[in-house]
Chain A
Amino acid sequence: MKKIATALSIMLLAATPFAAQASPDDDLKAFRSYFTKKFPDVPKGDFINGVYSVDAASREQWEAFEEFPSYEIAVDDGEGKFHKKFANGKGYADCFPNYKKGIKQNYPYFDTDSGKVVTLEGAINKCRTDNGEKKLKWKKGTITEIGAYLASLSRGHKVNVKVPNDAKAVAAYNRGKQHFYAKRGQLNMSCADCHYYYSGSKIRADILSPAYGHATGFPVYRNKWAGMGTIHRRYGGCNKQVRAKPFKAQSDEYKALEYFHTYMSNGLEINGPSQRK
């Protein structure tokens, strides 16, 4: 009997961390307040500029880049491709009727019908396959161009990701949160190690960007890539840097991470596409 009781309490202990955890809204308040206290000189809305919000030295160079941003071609190409009709005569605008008003701030969202997190890239490809077209590649290329165009129309809108009162939605959010805080890879580092606890510190010559505001600027033109990439492309790179096996772009794992990660930028303005080092 005692054994059973012990086993039960262990199971309960294992199950409670998430059950007893703070609500997403409490998490967001704590997250936001951590960063605003850690970086008291950064105006709250400026966290959308990533590392440049906390690194005065590289900000100047970045602002010069932004005068003639490298992502501008992607926005133009994206506009052209967005308005090109599919073979069946329909187009992206039929899938995204509100695109002109800006829609990026609502992604990713939880779809209660399918029980899944829907990313903007996922919605773009679903639009294609629903209309008899082939899927685009997930991490770079056309999908980032269309994403860049849609983001550019969403600039200034505040990130507004919701976690509905739905067990699967909460589970997806918690899975992403778990990914963010869990140690991984041969180097045993979590996303949080670099981008929460040590954000603003230097790793070699690079300053670590604060996770607060990370999600507002995607897709990004990254100088290191010499091209555009989605947020999942970046996640894969981060996981590799700590010598962990990356997950696939648009895997449930990365969709969950994007869900949590973007929720943590709620209330900040969309400024995508943007340019990063």
Chain B
Amino acid sequence: MRITAHLLTTTASIAALVGCLGLAPSIASADEGADLAKGKELAFNRKKGNCLACHQIEGGKLAGNIGPPLIAMKARFPDYDKLRAQIDDARKNNPNTIMIPFGPHAVMSSGEIDLVTKFIHTL
């Protein structure tokens, strides 16, 4: 059973890789663009990410300055997973942080955190 599951995930990831690598590039990038737009919307939504409450973001108005401006994110977070972990639960890096534990406190779903992370990583 375990082997079957393993096989399945391997097959699935190969399929995903093939998908990304060239069989359907136009569709993949369209999806990517839609994801980024959704991520931005969630990041700017006051009831979801509300990132502008504390961070300056290009294209956002009246941003706060409690946290650092979100710029050069790929240089600051070469590892996408580390950025995602920071957005999911910043307490792991700093137990006293004012940043909201978006994941554990269910302010955003896991899928929404993925979308926000994708968007923030492009800044």
Distance in Å from the Cβ of A211 to the closest Cβ of chain B? 15
Contact of A204 among B63, B91, B101, B105 (CB under 8 A): B63
- Of the listed residues B100, B106, B107, the one surrounded by the most CB atoms of chain A closer than 10 A to its CB is B100
Interface of chain B, helix or strand or loop or mixed?
loop
Cβ contacts under 8 Å, B123 to chain A: none
A202 close to chain B: CB less than 8 A: yes
A64 close to chain B: CB less than 8 A: no
B98 close to chain A: CB less than 8 A: yes
Considering the chains assembled together, what is the distance between the CA atoms of A187 and B63 in angstroms? Answer: 18
Interface size class of A (residues with CB under 8 A): 10 to 19
A39 close to chain B: CB less than 8 A: no
User: A186-B106, A204-B52 are known contacts. Are A193 and B98 too (CB-CB below 8 A)?
Assistant: yes
Considering the chains assembled together, what is the distance between the CA atoms of A197 and B53 in angstroms? Answer: 16
Q: Is the CB of A202 within 8 A of B98?
A: no
Distance in Å from the Cβ of B120 to the closest Cβ of chain A? 18
Cβ contacts under 8 Å, B65 to chain A: 201-202
Considering the chains assembled together, what is the distance between the CA atoms of A197 and B101 in angstroms? Answer: 18
Q: Which residue of A lies closest to B95 (CB)?
A: A183
A96 close to chain B: CB less than 8 A: no
B27 close to chain A: CB less than 8 A: no
Interface size class of B (residues with CB under 8 A): 10 to 19
User: A186-B105, A186-B106, A187-B105 are known contacts. Are A204 and B64 too (CB-CB below 8 A)?
Assistant: yes
Considering the chains assembled together, what is the distance between the CA atoms of A198 and B54 in angstroms? Answer: 11
Cβ contacts under 8 Å, A203 to chain B: 53-54, 64, 66
Query: For window 67-91 of chain B, which residues contact chain A by CB distance below 8 Å?
Result: 91
A188 close to chain B: CB less than 8 A: yes
Distance in Å from the Cβ of B12 to the closest Cβ of chain A? 35
Q: Is the CB of B66 within 8 A of A186?
A: no
Considering the chains assembled together, what is the distance between the CA atoms of A146 and B62 in angstroms? Answer: 39
A205 close to chain B: CB less than 8 A: yes
Q: Is the CB of B100 within 8 A of A188?
A: yes
Considering the chains assembled together, what is the distance between the CA atoms of A198 and B105 in angstroms? Answer: 22
- Of the listed residues B54, B63, B64, B105, the one surrounded by the most CB atoms of chain A closer than 10 A to its CB is B64
Considering the chains assembled together, what is the distance between the CA atoms of A202 and B54 in angstroms? Answer: 7
Cβ contacts under 8 Å, A189 to chain B: 98, 100
Cβ contacts under 8 Å, B52 to chain A: 204
Considering the chains assembled together, what is the distance between the CA atoms of A201 and B56 in angstroms? Answer: 13
Contact of B53 among A188, A193, A204 (CB under 8 A): A204
Q: Is the CB of B105 within 8 A of A188?
A: yes
Q: Is the CB of A187 within 8 A of B66?
A: no
Query: For window 189-229 of chain A, which residues contact chain B by CB distance below 8 Å?
Result: 189, 193-194, 197-198, 201-205
Q: Is the CB of B105 within 8 A of A202?
A: no
User: A187-B100, A189-B98, A203-B54 are known contacts. Are A198 and B107 too (CB-CB below 8 A)?
Assistant: no
Q: Is the CB of B107 within 8 A of A186?
A: yes
Distance in Å from the Cβ of B1 to the closest Cβ of chain A? 39
Considering the chains assembled together, what is the distance between the CA atoms of A204 and B91 in angstroms? Answer: 22
Q: Which residue of A lies closest to B98 (CB)?
A: A193
Q: Is the CB of B105 within 8 A of A205?
A: no
Contact of B62 among A197, A198, A201, A205 (CB under 8 A): A205
10 contacts between A and B (CB under 8 A): A186-B105, A186-B106, A187-B105, A188-B100, A197-B98, A201-B66, A202-B63, A203-B54, A204-B52, A204-B64
Given contacts A202-B66, A203-B53, A203-B64, 18 further A-B contacts (CB under 8 A): A186-B105, A186-B107, A187-B107, A188-B91, A188-B100, A188-B101, A189-B100, A197-B98, A198-B66, A201-B65, A202-B63, A202-B65, A203-B66, A204-B52, A204-B62, A204-B63, A205-B62, A205-B64
Q: Which 6 A-B pairs rank lowest in CB-CB distance, beginning with the nearest? A: A205-B62, A202-B64, A193-B98, A203-B64, A201-B66, A202-B65
